[in-house]
Structure formats: structure tokens, C-alpha cells
A and B are shown apart, each in its own frame.
Chain A
Amino acid sequence: MPQIAISADSYAAQFAAVKRTAPLAGPLASLRDDAFHCFDRLGFPTTRLEEWRFTNIAPIVEVPFQAPAASGGLDREVLDALPLPRSGAPEFVFVNGSFSPDLSDPSGLPPGVRVRSLAASAAGGAGGLDVLTAHLGRLARFQNHAFTALNTAFLRDGAVIEVDGGVVSERPIHLLFASSSAPAPVLSQPRVLIVAGAGSEVRIVESHAGAGDVPYLSNAVTEVSAADHAVVDHYTVVRQADAAYHVGNLAVRLGRASNFSSHTITAGGAIVRNEAGVVLGGEGGECTLNGLYLGNGRQLVDNQTTIDHAMPHCDSHELYKGILDGRSRAVFNGKIIVRLDAQKTDAKQSNKALLLSEDAQITTKPQLEIFADDVKCTHGATIGQLDPDALFYLRSRALSKAQARQLLIHAFAADLLGHIKVEAIRRGLDALLLERLPMSGE
């Protein structure tokens, strides 16, 4: 397709510019080079690729996105107006991928927890570069992944969170990623590295939003390395502008007896693709992947998850729920791999979609690859509408049709909401579920 060639060329010129204007130290520079070669070789994915069959990103490919030349600013009022969950410090703000110290408030971080900008880490000092070279690009592999390759090729800034062994970080650490496109479509590429030491505990919220009517592409990559017995509770909130595109890749590796949970909430963006890949790389690990996705208008939401049970005695629980209205479409693909050695695996997966309109659609596919024999794996998918009997029951109890719908929609998501430990996210979702969805109903 010709437009692919055009955009690949334009990214080549931009890549050359980034190398010139934002040089990186040796190992990171070659990581960037490798990544760009991969991106150049792969090109943007098309629907001929199995993993992209139902997600046509031609609209993304057609827009000439520009990697921002310098770290742009953002007015505080604009930031405050974005639909980002906030619960105060510690809070780190990134504008089009670049750290904005002026808008951030690092207070409240306990000793033993370090949050630095990737640019500062890369510039060395206090072992910053060592952390990057040890982990960056090792979990989020880009060899077969054009978007991750693109993100890595343009590596310049982002967030690096290190939690020392045994340290418990109680307050959630908020990473706010704001994109802003005026005047030209911007390529915003958030990058996050989280390294949780043995026996540490941390809760991290990454939220993504943007302003304006000019499209932008937010292409985010997060790598999480959880050492033995670490507990990481991770949230991704995607509430991009209507005209925006978002592609996210969360790549996680767990050590022995560590516990990772991810909650991915999608409520905004023309096309949103969330990938989550977790490798249970030590015995006794536990992983929870939860997702709630809301679609409206002509939005497309695609969730792709891979849980790789590489070691014995690991549990994984996966629950994704979608609420789709208008002409929105969703894709869910849940892959579970149970390796030969991964005996006593217990893996549960479920995807449930609630279709609020005749034109909403969901494509759902579980994909189990099981090589061990002593395992428990269950999966299920359901697609349904609001229960008319329940609607009538509520109306017969004096609730308006709109109230009844809201209550049932909220009820559908109730179990997922119950797992969200960050009050600000839950409140935002309550408001979304109770205010936004019913208006487009008949």
C-alpha cells in the first residue's frame, strides 16, 4: 500500500532528526538504531496479520504524525481539564512523552522509591543508565512489533520507577500522559519502566488523555519487572480525545511468588489498542488482568492479552468487560500459553460484552496453547444486551428508563469496579457509567 511507504519515509527523516537533536549514550543509541531498523522492515501492521485481522489501522497510517521536536509545555488549566484520575502527589506529568517538572509534584514518595525521567536516567548519574540498559527493550520486544519498535526508535524521555527491595509504597504513583496536537498531528510516545525489587509493593496509575480536535497518536510502551515476592498493582486509564489514536503495550515479567495485577480502562479515542503481555517467570506467581472498555460512536477498542505460564504453580485470572454503544466495535483476544514445565497452572479467562445498540459489535477470541498436562484452564465469553425483564422490574419500581439503564450498565461493571483500589479511578468510572452511556440509547 503506497501510504505505508510514504509514512515510513517521513518517519526515517524524523528518526535522523531525533538522533541529531537528542543523542543517547552508547547502548541506548544502538537500541534505538535496532528498533528503527525493525520498524522500517516491518512497516505498520495490516489486517493481513493475524493479530491485526480485526483492527484496521489504515486511518493511523494515513496521518503524517510528527514526533515533537522539543518538550512542549501545557497550561495547567488545560491539564486540569483533562479527564485524568488524580489523587494528588506523587504525580508526574508528561506532555507529548516528555517529562514536565513544572507540572509535576514528586512529594510523598517514600524512601527507597525513585521516580526519574528517562532522559535524566539516560544522562547517567546514580546508576540511572545501568537500570535502563539492564531492562529497557528486554521486556517489550520490538523485533516483531512495529509500534513498540517505533516507540523505541524515538526513545528520548519517559518515566523510570525503581522500588528497592522490601519497600512498600502506599500511595499510588500517578503518571499523567497528556498529548496535545496543535497545530500539526503529533506523535506522542510515552515510555515507562518499572523495576520492583524483591518483596516490594507498589501501585502505579498511568493515565492518558489529550485535548483538541487535531488527531494525535499516543504510542505507549510500559515495561514492568517484578522481582521475587514483589506486589505490583498497575492501572492504565485511556481517555483519549475523540479524534485521537492510542496504541499501548504493557510488557511484564514476574519473578517467583510475585503478584501482578493490571486494570486497563478504556474510555475514549477513535482507535485504541491495548496489548498486555505477562510472563509468569517464577514458581508461585500470580497475575490478574482486568479490563473495562467503553465504546461509543464509531470507536474501535482492541484488547490483546497474552499470559505466558512459563513456570509451575502460577495462577492467572483475567476478566475483561466491554460496554458498547452506537456503532462502536471491540476486539478481545486472550492468549494463554502454558509451557511444558508449567504444571499446576490455574488459568481463568473471561470476556463479557454488553451491547447497548444494534450496531455495536464485538469480536472475541480465546487462544489457549497448553503444553503441560496437569493444569486447570477455563475460559468463557458472553455477549448480551440489557435484560428487558430487569429493565421492566426497575421501571415498575418507579425508576425512569434512563435510570434503569444506567443502573444495569453500572451493575454490569460492578465486579470490575470493586477490584479498583484507586478511589479517583473508581469515581471517574462511576461518573462515566452513570452519565455518559445512556444518552445514546434509544
Chain B
Amino acid sequence: MLEIRDLQAGAGERRILNGIDLVVNPGEVHAVMGPNGSGKSTLAGALAGRDGIEVTGGSATFKGQDLLDLDPEVRAREGLFLAFQYPVEIPGVNNAYLLKAALNEVRKHRGEPELDAMDFMTLARKRMSLLDMDDALLNRPVNDGFSGGEKKRNEIFQLAVLEPSLAILDETDSGLDIDALKTVAAGVNAMRSPERSLIVVTHYQRLLHYIVPDFVHVLYRGRIVKSGGKELALELEEKGYGWLDAEPAAATA
């Protein structure tokens, strides 16, 4: 699905990712954990093609294609989805309009017929109920005036409608209370399938109680310094990230 080799990236003058290696196979769930500023969102952004993040070395292959060579919209059409840490408010653009346009772009790319308004609404309603989301959000401007939790739900709702093959969730848990967290996690779990992979970026293992990962990676200063199974998340929960400073040269597992 995704194969990242020695990925280096920065923003402006600043080097942020210092050689990331990560292989994600179909159906796998990978958690990427790490302290503030370790480069988690930069990694997510580099994969999604965010402007301003400059890849300076290494490679990323997505379904056999050079991912880094594709425009962001083509990555999305190919089945890569990024749930933003900070979803962008876009006043004046209707949430349903955007999502229908997005879905139809993806469908066109796959050679499938576009959905008309009726079929789209049927699908959207089904996915909204999955996330216990208020219908009214569909007809509001994208994220405009949404609460923090509503924004995060909206991201996962988009994921559920677009059905990507690889979804990167960037701190989808932050800003959610425990009930919302459970709902969102249940929504994500409902989308899990042997063909769909997930990269779950988080600080805390709280979310990983509900979305159980196959692998956990620790990102520190732009490197994956430790990888393991789901028990690594618990270990981090106990020890925090402080120990990483003591072992700056920690081996990549």
C-alpha cells in the first residue's frame, strides 16, 4: 500500500523529517506517536502533498506509484485521505456541496458514474448516522463555526463517504470528549477492512484503546526511533516521552 524510504522533508530553512522508513500493508493500522513538534503533522502533510512542505530526500510509493510526484488532488483521487489536525474553516462553501464534488471526482477517477444529488444524500445520511452527526452540519459552510469536536467528526464523516484506501488521521482524538471519542472510533472501526489501511497519529494511547493498532511507531526529532506492537503505546503512556531525551540514539526497531 505505502512504502516510505528514508523520507526527508522540511519547511523553509528548517529540516523536520530526517529519514523516515515506514511500510504499511493493506488492512494494517499503524499508530505514529511522538511529542509535540516531533514532525508527525509534517509527515502527514508530506504524504498528502501540502504546499510549503518540501521533500528533500527519500521516496514514498503508494500503490506502486511515486506518491511524491502527484498533485494533492491526484493523491486524494488515488485513495489517500488526510483527516486534518486542524480542519480548515471555509465560509461560503457548503459542506454537502464540497463532499459531493469530492466524491464525484474520486468516482470519475475510478471510472465510476457520478452520483446525483439524491443518491449522494442517501449515502451521506447513512454515513452521518454512523458518526451520530447532526444532519444540519451537512448544509453549513465547511467547518465554519463548528465546535472542535464537530470538526473532527466531520473529517471522519468525509473519510466514511470517500472510502479511501489509506487514511491518515492526524490527532483526530484531540478535542474530543470520551463519548465523542468512542463514537468517532466506532466510525473509524466500521470503515476498517482488509483493503483499507490506517495511519493514526496521536499523542496519547487513549484513542488506541478504541482503534487498536497493529503497529506503533515513536517519532522523535524527525525520526522513527522505536517501533513495536500495540503494547508500545501502553509503555509510552506510562513512561511519557521524557526517556527519549536520555536515549537520543535509540535504535530503530
Q: A residues bordering B, Cβ < 8 Å? A: 387-401, 403-404, 407-408, 410-415
Q: Does B245 contact A (CB under 8 A)?
A: no
Known contacts A398-B76, A398-B102, A399-B73; A390/B158 CB under 8 A: no
Nearest residue, chain A, Cβ from B108: A398
Does the CB pair A397–B102 fall under 8 Å?
Answer: yes
Known contacts A392-B51, A392-B72; A397/B158 CB under 8 A: yes
Does the CB pair B92–A412 fall under 8 Å?
Answer: yes
Q: Within the assembled complex, what's the spacing in Å between the Cα atoms of A387 and B92?
A: 13
Residues of chain B contacted by A400 (CB below 8 angstroms): 73, 105
Known contacts A388-B51, A403-B101, A407-B98; A396/B76 CB under 8 A: yes
Contact with A along B30-63 (1 / 0, CB 8 A): 0000000000000000001111100000000000
Residues of chain A contacted by B91 (CB below 8 angstroms): 411, 414
Q: Does B93 contact A (CB under 8 A)?
A: yes
Q: Does B82 contact A (CB under 8 A)?
A: yes
Q: Within the assembled complex, what's the spacing in Å between the Cα atoms of A397 and B88?
A: 12
Does the CB pair A387–B102 fall under 8 Å?
Answer: no
Does the CB pair A401–B71 fall under 8 Å?
Answer: yes
Does the CB pair B92–A414 fall under 8 Å?
Answer: yes
Does the CB pair A398–B71 fall under 8 Å?
Answer: no
Of A396, A397, A414, A415, the residue contacting B49 (CB under 8 A) is A396
Q: Within the assembled complex, what's the spacing in Å between the Cα atoms of A392 and B75?
A: 12
Does the CB pair A398–B73 fall under 8 Å?
Answer: yes
Q: Can you sample 27 A-B contacts with CB below 8 Å? A: A390-B88, A390-B90, A394-B93, A395-B71, A395-B73, A396-B72, A396-B82, A397-B76, A397-B101, A397-B158, A397-B162, A398-B76, A398-B77, A398-B102, A398-B105, A398-B162, A399-B98, A400-B73, A401-B73, A403-B101, A403-B105, A407-B93, A407-B98, A410-B92, A411-B141, A412-B92, A413-B92
Per CB-CB distance, the 4 closest pairs between chain A and chain B, nearest first, are A411-B92, A414-B92, A398-B105, A398-B76
Q: Within the assembled complex, what's the spacing in Å between the Cα atoms of A101 and B99?
A: 49
Does the CB pair A393–B105 fall under 8 Å?
Answer: no
Does the CB pair B71–A399 fall under 8 Å?
Answer: no
Known contacts A388-B51, A399-B102; A394/B90 CB under 8 A: yes
Q: Within the assembled complex, what's the spacing in Å between the Cα atoms of A91 and B101?
A: 37
Nearest residue, chain A, Cβ from B79: A398
Does the CB pair A389–B92 fall under 8 Å?
Answer: no
Known contacts A387-B88, A408-B93; A392/B105 CB under 8 A: no
Q: Does B87 contact A (CB under 8 A)?
A: yes
- The A interface is mostly helix, strand or loop, or mixed, namely helix
Residues of chain A contacted by B162 (CB below 8 angstroms): 397-398
Query: Nearest chain B CB to A401's CB is how many angstroms away?
Result: 7
Of B48, B90, B99, B101, the residue contacting A396 (CB under 8 A) is B48
Q: Within the assembled complex, what's the spacing in Å between the Cα atoms of A410 and B94?
A: 11
Q: Within the assembled complex, what's the spacing in Å between the Cα atoms of A388 and B109?
A: 25
Q: Does B131 contact A (CB under 8 A)?
A: no
Of B81, B82, B88, B101, the residue contacting A389 (CB under 8 A) is B88
Nearest residue, chain A, Cβ from B93: A411
Q: Within the assembled complex, what's the spacing in Å between the Cα atoms of A397 and B105?
A: 9
Query: Nearest chain A CB to B17's CB is how many angstroms away?
Result: 18
Nearest residue, chain A, Cβ from B104: A398
Query: Nearest chain A CB to B10's CB is how many angstroms away?
Result: 17
Query: Nearest chain A CB to B168's CB is how many angstroms away?
Result: 10
Q: Within the assembled complex, what's the spacing in Å between the Cα atoms of A391 and B72?
A: 10
Does the CB pair A394–B71 fall under 8 Å?
Answer: no
Does the CB pair A399–B51 fall under 8 Å?
Answer: no
Q: Within the assembled complex, what's the spacing in Å between the Cα atoms of A389 and B86?
A: 10
Q: Within the assembled complex, what's the spacing in Å between the Cα atoms of A398 and B73?
A: 4
Residues of chain B contacted by A407 (CB below 8 angstroms): 93, 98, 101
Q: Within the assembled complex, what's the spacing in Å between the Cα atoms of A190 and B114?
A: 48
Does the CB pair A393–B76 fall under 8 Å?
Answer: no
Q: Within the assembled complex, what's the spacing in Å between the Cα atoms of A408 and B98?
A: 11
Q: Does B84 contact A (CB under 8 A)?
A: yes
Residues of chain B contacted by A398 (CB below 8 angstroms): 73, 76-77, 101-102, 105-106, 109, 162
Does the CB pair A392–B50 fall under 8 Å?
Answer: yes
Query: Nearest chain B CB to A382's CB is how many angstroms away?
Result: 13
Q: Within the assembled complex, what's the spacing in Å between the Cα atoms of A433 and B195?
A: 40
Query: Nearest chain A CB to B221's CB is how many angstroms away?
Result: 25
Query: Nearest chain A CB to B209's CB is how many angstroms away?
Result: 28
Q: Within the assembled complex, what's the spacing in Å between the Cα atoms of A415 and B93?
A: 11
Nearest residue, chain A, Cβ from B86: A389
Residues of chain A contacted by B71 (CB below 8 angstroms): 395, 401
Contact with A along B118-150 (1 / 0, CB 8 A): 000000000000000000000001100000000
13 A-B pairs besides A397-B101, A399-B102, A399-B105 with CB distance below 8 A are A389-B88, A393-B84, A393-B88, A394-B93, A396-B73, A396-B76, A398-B76, A398-B106, A399-B73, A404-B73, A410-B92, A410-B93, A415-B92
